[in-house]
Chains A and B, each alone.
Chain A
Amino acid sequence: MAEKDVRLMKGNEVIAHAAVHCGCDGYFGYPITPQSEVMETLMELRPWESTGMVVLQAESEIASINMVYGGAATGKKIMTSSSSPGVSLMSEGLSYIAACELPCLVVNCQRGGPGLGTIQPSQGDYMQACKGGGHGDYHLIVLAPSSVQEMYDFVGLSFDIAFKHRNPVMLLADGAIGQMMEKVVFSEQKPRLTDEEVAEQQKAWAATGKGQRGKSNVVTSLYLNPEELEGLNNRLQEKYNRIKAEEARWEEFMCDDAEYVLVAFGSSARICSAVVEQAREEGIKLGLMRPITLWPFPEKPLADMAARGVKGFMSVEMNAGQMVEDVRLAVEGKAAVEHYGRTGGVIFTPDEVLEALKNNLIK
């Protein structure tokens, strides 16, 4: 067997490598800290000379997301990346993409807000990512990587999920994982699909030019007849229910005998696993539940833990309390649910989380 290709890299850099390796067809983006390395790395890699992937620096995030929309409308594997204020600008486009049921990948390497905020890491866009952001009843599928390896692995995974359900996927990372350097194992280069393969696989909907198809395809989200638009919404809701049933992903750490459970994703989960170890040394039976998909939110494991008699949950987030609402919905009042968070780009230490757990939950 060939030796593994192991590298030491920043989270943002591996996003670029992963895009090329998984056979992505196009990247459109606009610089913003702390994620500019994604496009910079792509420009260094020059994939248009190797795989034929298109890379373009757009004039704004509004243009980027509408380029993603156009590219995705032709059935190709298209992505963009940005950070919080840029993602806010993409909201209208994301709603169009979801309405037209186009697969694509959007990476949000979050920074602190609101407003121009800070370039320091944050998880303040949980609500925006999971509950909408744009207009209308739509959902993104949201994955939260918590290591550089997951930044790499989730790019290909996101495209697989996006095409399986014909739905936009968001990788909700943060400035810490984007900037952090870690070991990463590369996968083999997957070939890009040819134009003919794309036209054949997506012939039911993609606007590739009529070609051999004989009938024209139109990608649109306009329905003037209320019943027709309700029909689209009903179809979308059915799809979202299917996604909820099939795609929820999470990881449990020392939850089997836990009396208390921390719930944390992304960078926060890394800190919380240290908290669990520290607590265990002090004799506190603490576990960690790490949602990997934020939408669909993994409700079942939390509901099961609550039913099994876990006394309390603490949702630990780099925000003022966003995911905690989903934890409460999952636990349905069967146990205490608290939130601990810091904002503004401040990253909590394991000690302060443990302290908060004792003060808020164990008492």
Chain B
Amino acid sequence: MAEVEIREENKVHARPRLITDTVMHYCPGCSHGTVHNLIAEVIDEMGLEDKAVGISPVGCAVFAYNYIDVDWVEAAHGRACAVATAVKRLHPNNMVFTYQGDGDLTAIGAGETIHAAARGENIVTIFINNSIYGMTGGQMSPTTLLGMRTATTPAGRDAALNGFPYKIMDMLTHLDGATYLTRQSVHTPAAVRKCKKAISKAFENAMAGNGYSMVEVVASCNSGWKLSPVEANRWMEENVMPNYVMGDVKCSTLPK
């Protein structure tokens, strides 16, 4: 096959410089890989390669450190915000971010997340909310929608039996220390571009010492949801996204 020459002006995407050669273990169609690319691009564009320290979760993204070529600390399940708090306080000039799933962040790690936000730690949390525990095989998470089938809600989530889902970002809006809260998605090219802007803004907020930022990415887990990647995106648009206010939820400055 003849080599196709891509003219610079026609190029819409290239592999980000800080994404390593390691083959990603994510299922095809998974949102994690897309968000990794965005983080890598933002770190590079903001010149933060030498200062970035990522905290990876226990969840499908545990190996984020194999894909984005910066320093990482792998945290125990749910504890990323505590780990990040210490790293940032000891290295105030570093760009410290956590990368967490909905089980990691809203179930076992809800306490650490809320308190890091309440204290106004100058860190960023990238929160991949795919409404399910991907890594352990598709069990219910606190963000699983009512009626949604998972391995532990085989008949669909029932409020009487399984409790109600909750939105941690909406709770965080009440905290003085949380100053930039934004809800994004990566299911269309336009959404991806917006999400990248939000990640940049969050990183700027942290580097400016303006408190805690969270970028929630409403995401799909096609394997856990037992749908094809295309069907999963459609299902997400029709069933998940209407539950959420998308876009910036809070932009403020730390109270004096």
Contacts and interface: CB of A to CB of B under 8 A. Distances in A.
Contacts of B71: 207-210, 216-218
B84 interface: yes
Nearest to B75: A66
Interface in B162-202: none
Nearest to B72: A218
A71 B70 contact: no
A350 interface: no
A237 interface: no
B112 interface: yes
A280 B94 CA distance: 63
Contact of A210 (B70, B74, B76): B70
Contacts of B49: 210
Contacts of B82: 58, 62-64, 66-67, 70
A70 B84 contact: yes
A66 B76 contact: yes
A63 B115 contact: yes
Most buried by B among A56, A63, A78: A63
Interface stretch (B34-42, B51-59, B215-223, B224-232): B51-59
Given A74-B91, A93-B79, A209-B94, A26 B86 contact: yes
A219 B112 contact: no
A62 to B, nearest CB: 7
A56 B89 contact: yes
B125 to A, nearest CB: 14
Given A28-B86, A74-B87, A78-B86, A63 B52 contact: no
B90 to A, nearest CB: 5
B124 interface: no
A70 B86 contact: yes
A69 B83 contact: yes
B50 A63 contact: no
Contacts of A63: 79, 82, 85, 111-112, 115
B60 interface: no
Nearest to B87: A70
A71 B55 CA distance: 12
Interface in A208-255: 208-212, 216-222
A49 to B, nearest CB: 15
Given A66-B79, A71-B90, A78-B90, 4 more contacts: A28-B86, A58-B115, A70-B75, A207-B72
The 8 closest A-B pairs by CB, nearest first: A70-B83, A70-B86, A220-B74, A66-B79, A66-B82, A67-B86, A71-B86, A207-B71
